[in-house]
Amino acid sequence: MSLCMFYRNLNNNLLSKVSTIMAKRQSSDMTTFKEVLRSAKNVVILSGAGISAESGIPTFRGAGGLWRKYQATALATPGAFRENPSLVWEFYHYRREVAAKAQPNTGHLAIAKYEEKHATDKNITVITQNVDGLHARAGSKSLVELHGNLYKTRCTKCKEVLVNTDSPICEALAGKGAPDSAQIGSDIPVKSLPHCQKASCGGLLRPHIVWFGEGLEPEVLNKAEAAMSACDVCLVVGTSSVVYPAAMFAPQAAARGATVAEFNIEPTPATPEFHYYFEGPCGTVLPLVLSD
């Protein structure tokens, strides 16, 4: 059985348990939820692509998922990088440039302000599936980036991970990566792509992103699981609840008795399983909920 299938089966079992233990109809009562949140000691905010979409970051799923002729998810794989690292780097250069121009929205800022306000009376952890760095730029401190960060590189040879915010990250990528380009492939020589600067290495760099077909870093996953296992309230913010293993985090929390509230512009497959659902843009609803 594949790891992905294992997670799906596990999550289905958890959802079944949640359905049987929840006695009350799902609520959108903001006043009641704010009272629950006020008394919480350990809070997790689990965010996904929806909150970044409100800052203009493409979700790369559905209608926004096409880059040139390619499905973006097809480029975010180890195989795609092995076959054509220049094309993949063009794609990620484009993503880096888009994210660099974006600004944290009122949803990101509300989360960061909530963290700051309750730094001494609550343990608050932000777990994000996003790689754009907007939570950190908004001011979030206790941040777990499940899938990596666009502004980090990893050497394919020595495995060193470094922060790199250069624009462009190498001269060969200047002016490259346009999604509407008539050019299908990439003509950048591999030797001109980003490489490790250590004299003893010189290996090809790759984006420090967890690609499809790869597992989360054990240290990152352990931090996320520790926060989820301790939380008494979990806010699920702008996530489709379909990407594993993050998709099982909130159902697991609900199954053991934590209060889970979902914030999204539309229901997701997991919506019926949570205690609260608040519909609307994260940038509109979160400031109302986190203001106290």
Active site residues: 147
Query: How many beta carbons lie within 10 A of that of residue 106, not counting itself?
Result: 18
> Residue 125 pairs with which residues in a beta bridge?
44
Could you give the CA distance from residue 153 to residue 42 in angstroms, rounded to a whole number? 32
HSE-CB for 65 with a 13 A CA cutoff:
11
100, amino acid identity: A
Known binding residue 202? Answer is: no
Known binding residue 185? Answer is: no
Known binding residue 52? Answer is: yes
Known binding residue 265? Answer is: yes
Known binding residue 175? Answer is: no
> Residue 163 pairs with which residues in a beta bridge?
152
Answer whether the bond into residue 168 is a cis peptide, omega within 30°: yes
**H or E stretch including 153?**
strand 148-155
Known binding residue 243? Answer is: no
Known binding residue 58? Answer is: yes
Known binding residue 268? Answer is: no
Could you give the CA distance from residue 15 to residue 54 in angstroms, rounded to a whole number? 29
Known binding residue 127? Answer is: no
Sheet arrangement for strand 276-279: 143-145, 123-128, 42-47, 233-237, 259-264, 276-279
Known binding residue 129? Answer is: yes
Residues flagged as binding site: 48-67, 92, 95, 129-132, 155, 158, 196, 201, 238-240, 264-266, 282
Residues flagged as binding site for Zn(2+): 155, 158, 196, 201
Residues flagged as binding site for NAD(+): 48-67, 129-132, 238-240, 264-266, 282
Residues flagged as binding site for substrate: 92, 95
